[in-house]
Chains A and B, each alone.
Chain A
Amino acid sequence: MTIQSDASKERADRRKDRRKRDSQATAWGPGFIIKLILMGAVNALGIYIIFTAFGVGSLTLGIGMILLLIAVNWIYFSRRTLALKYLAPGLVFLLIFQAFTIVYTGYIAFTNYGHQHTLDKSGAINSLLLQNNSKRVEGSPQYPLVVVERDGNIGFAIIDQEGALKVGADEEPFAEVDGTITDNSITEVDGWDILSSSEMGQRQSEIFDLRVLLSDDAEEGAIGTQSGTVGYQFVSTLSYDDASDTMTNTETGEVYAANDETGFFENEDGDRLGVGWRVNVGFDNFREGFSDDRYAQPFLKVLIWNVLFALFSVLTTFLLGMFLAIVMNDERLKGRRFYRTIMLLPYAFPSFMTAFLFAGMMNRNYGFFNEIIGAAIPWLTDPTMAKVSVLLVNLWMGFPYMFLIVTGALQSIPGELTQAAKIDGASTLQVWRNVTLPQLMISLTPLLISSFAFNFNNFNLIYMLNQGGPRMSDASVPVGHTDILISMVYKIAGLTGEALPNYGLAAAMSLVIFLIVGSVSLYSFRKSNSLEGLN
């Protein structure tokens, strides 16, 4: 016993030793060098993203990236993380492309991100000040201007109304100086250097922000420039007070306090300044999506059509695809390969192009179909007909996929099974129903479910074919009869220009769609799991 255990202990120690020697984490082999280079590239990318993220002030992204980078380095340089070494790339991509999207959509769903609320608060303050800090005093003259410099200080030289050359700088009101004026432009200023355009390019913000008083009396106003060639008497009509978080209109004395619930500066009467910022609005978007009867009524219709559309799409494409696959599977058919290739053509064509082409061919008066038939079928303009058309076009685009997978699945059914059934005296139909079909369904059900999920959100087809039209005449929002949820959300989000942009609302509704599709898929996968259990 003891001898054996000693030997096994020794073996274990040897194994451990070898593992240590072989490990890429500790040995300087070629493998390690490659790993080092790859990790260097990964780290470089990570550090670049981190710097960029902090550069644009995105704290969350920056910190998230730091954590991610530390985790990745730990995984690949530690000896104890063998499994993670294989899983990490997938996990990282899952985080970036799936989890991040969902979390971010979730975040947007609780904000008022949309029209007038695209900026953050400091951005909104800056914009408001920018919009209001250079109002030209009405009826005031414009002055030919050059930017001048003395001992590193920037000043303006202007020709005033009387044709006199004046120069001034910060805290140094305009005063007459000697210089040369040629053709109404200043070419020389005594005691000052005229800045060249390229030098102005480097000191832009300094020049842009400079205001030079017209005289000792501040009441007379100040001159500023936007282009470096012409000066105007500018006044600022808004001022921001950091301490009280208010904007004051210096002309009327009106005070606008920041309202962090609505994301606007508001005065006592509820008047708002034009530019707002993004704030958290809690469940308002969800409430609006379902309680606003303008949405609620079409939402139900759209939901029903959406489910029917996805169901029928899967059903029709599957039936046609399966039928063709079975026909083409018959060995008596000559030139099967040729036919099979032809069948795949619609699949090879980009789907949005196909939809677009069909839209043209289905024009009521000038479309290819009606010209051939010689009728005036309202393919896309009649509510019911439009739904049929959508399904027909989707049938055209979708059956090759089904054809492909059924053909594949048919090959995998062992020939002995059907032969045995035939020997037992089953008819062709019985063989099909009791042997082939159940075998097919085992491998196809998951694909049918994913096809359902795909068609549930088949935005390409709906949008490129008919933009969801014809419009529901009784709805008070721009929603059409063939709109599915995702295309309806797209319209409500204002991305089509049919409504004011409201990304918050769109995100909230996307989440709801996600829940619907997610639960349908989950349920079906459970079902198909139990189906597989039959095997």
Chain B
Amino acid sequence: MRRGIALVAASGLAFGLAACGSDDDTTEETTGTETTDTETTDDGGTETTDDGEAPAGGGSITVWVDDNRLPAFETAAEMYKDATGNDVELVVKENDQMRSEFMTQVPTGEGPDVTFGAHDWLGEFVTNGVVAPVELGDKAGEFNELAVTAFTYEGTNYGVPYAVENLAIFRNADLVDSTPETFDEMIAMGEEAGTEYPFLVQIGDGGDPYTMYPFESSFHGPVFETDGDGNYTDVLNMGGEEGNAFAQWLADNGQNGTGVLDTAITYDVAVDAFKNGQSPYILGGPWMIADFEGMNIAVDPIPSTGDNPAAPFLGVQGGFISATSENKLLATDFLVNYVGSEEVQTELYGIGQRLPALTVSADAAAEDPLMAGFRAAGEEALPMPALPEMGAVWGFWGNTEAQIISGQGEPVATWEKMISDIETEMAK
């Protein structure tokens, strides 16, 4: 009998404590507490935005952002709160963990309503069913066309872009006065400048196909074949004679050739050497601008090596909506009407130094000559493929390039083996 009392007492205590236990799904909590003081207006509720006072909150959305861009999204969140009374809860996440956490949390119904990230996550998100479509409507016309294409998968749009980025040539204007149109001319000019390196490009032991891609695309064009609308299909376009020519070019300029390309040059080495004036040219992106502060630099389009123009990859940053979100309406409203607004896009530019995806904001940003340089270099750019198949490409691609550059193996045979390996992996 006494034991019975003990059990009842223990379970009573248990329920008491369980009730105190906090639910980590703060979304619901804030909704719960704030709905109590919602004013219901009988005369049409038109005074929501005009009287300047924030209306009572109705909902709350959870948004994942990375640390760098938090301040800009804080502005967007405040604007949204002021205009609608709905809360935006910003959760800071490590950039390299967002993708996998989104992939694992959304299926369980957890995870954010919105996550910001790169457009090349899209294919994996769509084929795993974790992202909801967004119709941009006429708004699509206000964005950089390529940015909208980047967020389109099989004809459906799945995100709202806010920034684009691409590679370009940084030129040390104290050493040289221009960037020629072809690679060989650029190397010649670099050698004339008498610095340690004629030209710097990061590679590393595992290769860096993203950075090498502008040169590669001037041989064979896009990574995958494109359909009439410029969307990628899943047919690999890296092989054939053009691909082999690129492989040969890598070997010719590699460690057993001219030595311009060297796997020992990593990102840190390259940036450091350019900063010390050891080279007039470096291939890089807007993320390097802060490193070169105080230098007399210019940004130019990338010289071509083959028959085509050198087209760098265009990376687009934007917001995705979770497929299992209960707040899709607010999330869409927030993304399309607030993150997609000129004010927020301009603010984001000020913080991230990436060209805004919204054309109006991009025009304003391009008043900065460096940004204008990146914009010009990006004119030939192609969106980085967002197909899930890319997961099968990067590793083989980078390692094969590193192999050829470091002089291991016959370039053409190595390249052809890579093509067949990737095709086998994709067919799995």
- Residues of A at under 8 Å CB distance from B? 25-26, 32, 36-37, 39-48, 51, 56, 73, 77-78, 115-116, 118-120, 123-124, 126-128, 130-131, 134-136, 142, 187-189, 193-202, 204-205, 207-208, 225-230, 232, 234, 274-275, 294, 363-366, 380-381, 466-467, 469-471, 473, 476-478, 491, 494-501
Contacts and interface: CB of A to CB of B under 8 A. Distances in A.
Interface stretch (B102-110, B293-301, B309-317): B102-110
A124 B132 CA distance: 13
Interface in B79-130: 83-86, 100, 103-104, 107-110, 124, 126-130
A46 B109 CA distance: 21
29 contacts: A36-B6, A36-B13, A40-B10, A40-B12, A43-B17, A44-B14, A47-B15, A56-B108, A77-B3, A77-B6, A116-B388, A118-B104, A130-B129, A130-B133, A131-B132, A194-B44, A196-B48, A196-B85, A197-B85, A200-B58, A205-B329, A228-B333, A274-B154, A469-B205, A471-B399, A471-B403, A478-B396, A499-B425, A500-B425
B245 interface: no
A198 B38 contact: yes
B89 to A, nearest CB: 13
A255 B263 CA distance: 52
A342 to B, nearest CB: 30
B391 A115 contact: yes
A197 B55 contact: yes
Contact of B17 (A44, A229, A466): A44
Interface stretch (B235-243, B320-328, B371-379): B320-328
A275 B129 contact: yes
Nearest to B35: A202
B39 to A, nearest CB: 9
B86 A197 contact: yes
Given A142-B137, A199-B45, A204 B395 contact: no
Contacts of A115: 124, 127-128, 388, 391
Contact of B57 (A47, A198, A495): A198
B264 A131 contact: no
Contacts of B265: 365
B3 A56 contact: no
Interface string B1-43: 0110011011111111110110000000001000100101111
Contacts of B109: 56
Interface string B253-266: 00000000011111
Given A363-B266, A473-B414, A201 B45 contact: no
A501 B425 CA distance: 12
Given A197-B58, A473-B414, A497 B394 contact: yes
A134 B59 contact: no
Nearest to B422: A476
A51 B154 CA distance: 40
Contacts of A195: 45
Nearest to A469: B205
B206 interface: yes
Interface string B410-425: 0000100100110011
A201 B31 CA distance: 9
Q: Say whether chain A's binding surface is mostly helix, strand, loop, or mixed.
A: mixed
Contacts of B40: 199
A500 B388 contact: yes
Which 3 residue pairs spanning A and B have beta carbons closest together? A201-B59, A198-B58, A127-B129
B264 A188 contact: no
Contacts of B366: none
Contacts of B6: 25, 32, 36, 77
Q: How large is the interface on B (under 10, 10 to 19, 20 to 34, 35 or more residues)?
A: 35 or more
Nearest to B409: A473
B13 A43 contact: yes
Contacts of B14: 39-44, 46-47
B329 A196 contact: no
B11 A478 contact: no
A473 B408 contact: yes
Nearest to B24: A52
B46 A128 contact: no
Interface string B325-358: 0111110110011000000000000000000000
B68 interface: no
Contacts of A473: 403, 408-409, 414
A56 B135 CA distance: 29
Given A195-B45, A227-B332, 8 more contacts: A39-B14, A42-B14, A48-B18, A118-B128, A194-B45, A197-B86, A473-B414, A497-B394
Given A196-B55, A204-B326, A44 B129 contact: no
Contacts of A497: 391, 394-395
B408 A205 contact: no
A424 B18 CA distance: 72
A199 B58 contact: yes
Nearest to B20: A44
A227 B135 CA distance: 9
B420 to A, nearest CB: 8
A315 B328 CA distance: 59
A128 to B, nearest CB: 7
B128 A116 contact: yes
A115 B123 CA distance: 11
Nearest to B132: A130
A221 B228 CA distance: 28
B107 A123 contact: yes
Interface in B258-276: 262-266, 269
Contacts of B395: 478, 491, 496-499
Contacts of B409: 473
A229 to B, nearest CB: 6
A187 B43 CA distance: 11
A98 B197 CA distance: 55
B129 A124 contact: yes
B180 to A, nearest CB: 27
A115 B390 CA distance: 12
A26 B2 CA distance: 7
B18 A205 contact: no
B46 A37 contact: no
Of the listed residues B60, B85, B107, the one surrounded by the most CB atoms of chain A closer than 10 A to its CB is: B107
B370 interface: no
Contacts of A118: 103-104, 107, 128-130
Nearest to B3: A77
Nearest to B418: A476
A204 B327 contact: yes
A516 to B, nearest CB: 26
Given A26-B3, A116-B128, A229 B44 contact: no
B9 to A, nearest CB: 6
Given A365-B262, A381-B263, A497-B395, A193 B135 contact: no
Nearest to B87: A201
B367 interface: no
B206 A469 contact: yes
Contacts of B135: 134, 136, 226, 232, 234
Given A115-B124, A226-B332, A478-B395, A500 B107 contact: no
A381 B394 contact: no
A228 B394 contact: no
B56 interface: yes
B45 A127 contact: no
A495 B100 CA distance: 9
Of the listed residues A197, A365, A491, the one surrounded by the most CB atoms of chain B closer than 10 A to its CB is: A197
Of the listed residues B14, B21, B328, B403, the one surrounded by the most CB atoms of chain A closer than 10 A to its CB is: B14
A201 B86 contact: yes
Given A126-B323, A205-B326, A40 B128 contact: no
